[in-house]
Amino acid sequence: MAQLNLWVGDVDGNVDKMVAAAVTARDAHKADIVVFPELAVLGYPPDDLLLRNGLPDKIKAGLARIKKEVAGICVVVGYPEFAKAGMYNAADVYLGDRRIAHYRKQKLPNYGVFDEDRHFHPGDATCVFELAGLPVGLTICEDIWEPGPAADAAKAGAKLLININASPFHEHKSAQRNQVLADRARECDLSIVYVNCVGGQDELVFDGDSMVARFDGQIIYRAPTFTEGVFACDVPLDHDAKAKPAKKSEQAIEPLIWQALTLSIYDYVDRNGFDGVLLGLSGGIDSSLVLALAVDALGPERVWAVAMPSRYTSDLSKTQAQLQAENLGVRFSEVPIEPMFEAFTQGLADEFAGTAEDVTEENIQSRCRGTILMALSNKFRHIVLATGNKSEMATGYATLYGDMAGGFAPLKDVYKTTVFALSKWRNAQCADDAKVIPQAVIDRPPSAELRADQQDSDSLPPYETLDAIIRAYVEQHATQAEIIDQGFDADLVARVTGMIRRNEYKRRQSPPGPKVTARAFGRDRRYPITAQYSDV
């Protein structure tokens, strides 16, 4: 199982990895067959890159290289097929320079983050090929989530089923995969080899988690999550043979989300050519968590923390921000925003005459900080990591062109309650009393510190309540009435769901961030900005 971190569009680089992996599988593991993920030659998801006129020739050349450079082992290769009848999500099976099988994906997902109907036509033929006298069926990703294609392969005589995937991570995905594979294996009385890719790709992150389900539904082998590599396994075909179940994946969700976030930061920063990252370090829990993630992802030498205190910044915020930066060994700067804030307010004094201070002045402070960070980013080729979380993105508790400024938002799909859980989990991994995130930052009441004595609770309900309402409305598509039936106050439900609807225009302008929940803002959830749908 070649669980590879592939780069969308880098056909030459992807083929280099595939050839090297095939050689490792053949020489180091003495494998009969090596299996690559879905669309491995091009990477996933390619989106409208598939429309580029020069792409078919690149794909053709990449496949020719694999056939020419890999010998002595059977190879399963996923790629986009450009045929006269249309475009297909396809896979070939090579043995030396011969193609011994060809398959076109039958079930095209068109929900959530997937929109394969936009480009691909569905295949309509079952694929069973012979490997050393063994009939082997071949399917692609979504084909295994429905009974039909696997059952058809079994009827055609397959004694083993291979399923190649580009299946992105979210917090419930591993359990869902386990159930689907177990169901298909038992239904078809076939062992299934499931191979997935790994790595960060814009708003998606792939966790690998490649595995083998035995014919009785038992998971007997599992590759490490979020780890690139070539993983060998023997697949039992004898129904009388005994097999040990694989070690279950870690039940705690925090370490999986941590791996997802750090891998997505690393791949996004490196593959987009940035020297490092910088972020505004406020002394609050969100920016403290992003700093810890960035250091784990990139190392302290590539991370720059910038404190930007104002007249409302507490001494606790100042001291804790500097303490964390020193503990983690990152570059630390302090750029007070007071002179800039005064310049803005004085410049607008005539226009604002006769009005009271309100959220406008709060947002000016935030936009001063956004300007500082973007200036440093331009000058020093460090991408700005925005520090807002999903609870804030949902309710609009964030400032456009202020704290929403940046190139990547690691916490965009992380609820505030999960922010606290991740912070506590990461601190628990420390070998001594030194904490990655200062305990005082975790213990303090959350505050934007844009006015005197401000706390998040002035504008938002307790995060435990808020996040539960957001989950129901965003991830479960629940109506207001259904959420109220769960025990939440009717006025509060109306208020929170109204905030979610009204702030779609803000989210449309926010930077990308990795999906880690069942439904993330961005390509996973596409709602109109100008719409009226409060009662649905």
Q: How far is CA 516 from CA 50, 200, 245, 468, in A?
A: 26, 12, 27, 16
Q: Which residue has the tokens 């009388």?
A: 240
Minimal CA–CA distance to 403: which of 358, 441, 367, 362? Answer: 367
> pTM of this prediction?
0.94
CA distance 336 to 368: 10
- Could you please state the CATH topology (level 3) that the domain comprising 2-249 is classified under: Nitrilase/N-carbamoyl-D-aminoacid amidohydrolase (3.60.110)
Q: What is the pLDDT of residue 249?
A: 56
Strand ordering across the sheet containing 331-334: 331-334, 303-307, 276-280, 382-384
CA distance 212 to 179: 12
pLDDT in tens, 77-109: 999 999 999 999 999 999 988 999 999 999 999
Biggest CA–CA distance in the chain, Å, is 87
Q: What is the pLDDT of residue 281?
A: 95
For residue 486, which amino acid is it? Q
The answer to whether the CB of 248 falls within 8 A of the CB of 274 is: no
CA distance 510 to 386: 9
pLDDT in tens, 155-212: 999 999 999 999 999 999 999 999 999 999 999 999 999 999 999 999 999 999 999 9
CA distance 261 to 193: 27
Cβ count near 419 (within 10 Å) = 25
Pairing of strands 191-195, 198-201: unpaired
43: Cβ contacts below 8 Å, ≥ 6 apart: 6, 7, 8, 9, 10, 14, 201
Query: Residue-wise pLDDT tens for the chain (536 aa)?
Result: 999 999 999 999 999 999 999 999 999 999 999 999 999 999 999 999 999 999 999 999 999 999 999 999 999 999 999 999 999 999 999 998 899 999 999 999 998 899 999 999 999 999 999 998 999 999 999 999 999 999 999 999 999 999 999 999 999 999 999 999 999 999 999 999 999 999 999 999 999 999 999 999 999 999 999 999 999 998 888 777 667 777 665 568 999 999 999 999 999 999 999 999 999 999 899 999 999 999 999 999 999 999 999 888 888 888 999 999 999 999 999 999 999 999 999 999 999 999 999 999 999 999 999 999 999 999 999 999 999 999 999 999 999 999 999 999 999 999 999 999 999 999 999 877 678 999 999 998 877 667 677 677 777 889 999 999 999 999 999 999 999 999 999 999 999 999 999 999 999 999 999 999 999 999 999 898 988 887 77
Q: What is the pLDDT of residue 435?
A: 86
Cα dihedral value 277, 310, 415, 421, nearest 10: 80
451: Cβ contacts below 8 Å, ≥ 6 apart: 312, 361, 362
Q: How far is CA 318 from CA 305, 324, 336, in A?
A: 12, 10, 11
Start-end of CATH 3.60.110.10 domains in the chain: 2-249
CA distance 122 to 105: 6
254: Cβ contacts below 8 Å, ≥ 6 apart: 421, 422, 425, 426
The answer to whether the CB of 476 falls within 8 A of the CB of 166 is: no
Strand positions, DSSP E, 323-410:
331-334, 382-384
CA distance 535 to 482: 11
Q: Which two tokens stand for residue 348?
A: 């607008």
Cα dihedral value 59, 86, 91, 127, nearest 10: -160
CA distance 507 to 511: 8
Catalytic residues: 38, 105, 141
Q: How far is CA 496 from CA 213, 396, 439, in A?
A: 43, 10, 30
Q: What is the pLDDT of residue 312?
A: 84
Cα dihedral value 371, 377, 379, 381, nearest 10: -170
> Taking the chain, what is the end-to-end CA distance rounded to the nearest angstrom?
45
332 conformational bin, left if phi > 0, alpha if psi -120 to 50, beta if neither: beta
Q: What is the pLDDT of residue 531?
A: 87
For residue 201, which amino acid is it? Q
CA distance 181 to 170: 17
Q: Which two tokens stand for residue 358?
A: 């309100």
Instruction: Decide which of 3.40.1000.10, 3.50.50.60, 3.40.50.620, 3.30.479.10 is the CATH code for 255-460+503-507.
Output: 3.40.50.620
CA distance 403 to 389: 11
CA distance 406 to 412: 12
**Angle 462-467-469 (CA atoms, 0-180°, nearest 5)?**
100
CA distance 61 to 58: 5
The answer to whether the CB of 414 falls within 8 A of the CB of 389 is: yes
The answer to whether the CB of 38 falls within 8 A of the CB of 138 is: no
| Whole-number CA gyration radius for the chain | 26
CA atoms within 13 A on the CB side of 180: 20
Minimal CA–CA distance to 274: which of 381, 386, 199, 406? Answer: 381
38: Cβ contacts below 8 Å, ≥ 6 apart: 44, 78, 89, 91, 105, 140, 141, 164, 165, 166, 197
For residue 148, which amino acid is it? G
Start-end of CATH 3.40.50.620 domains in the chain: 255-460+503-507
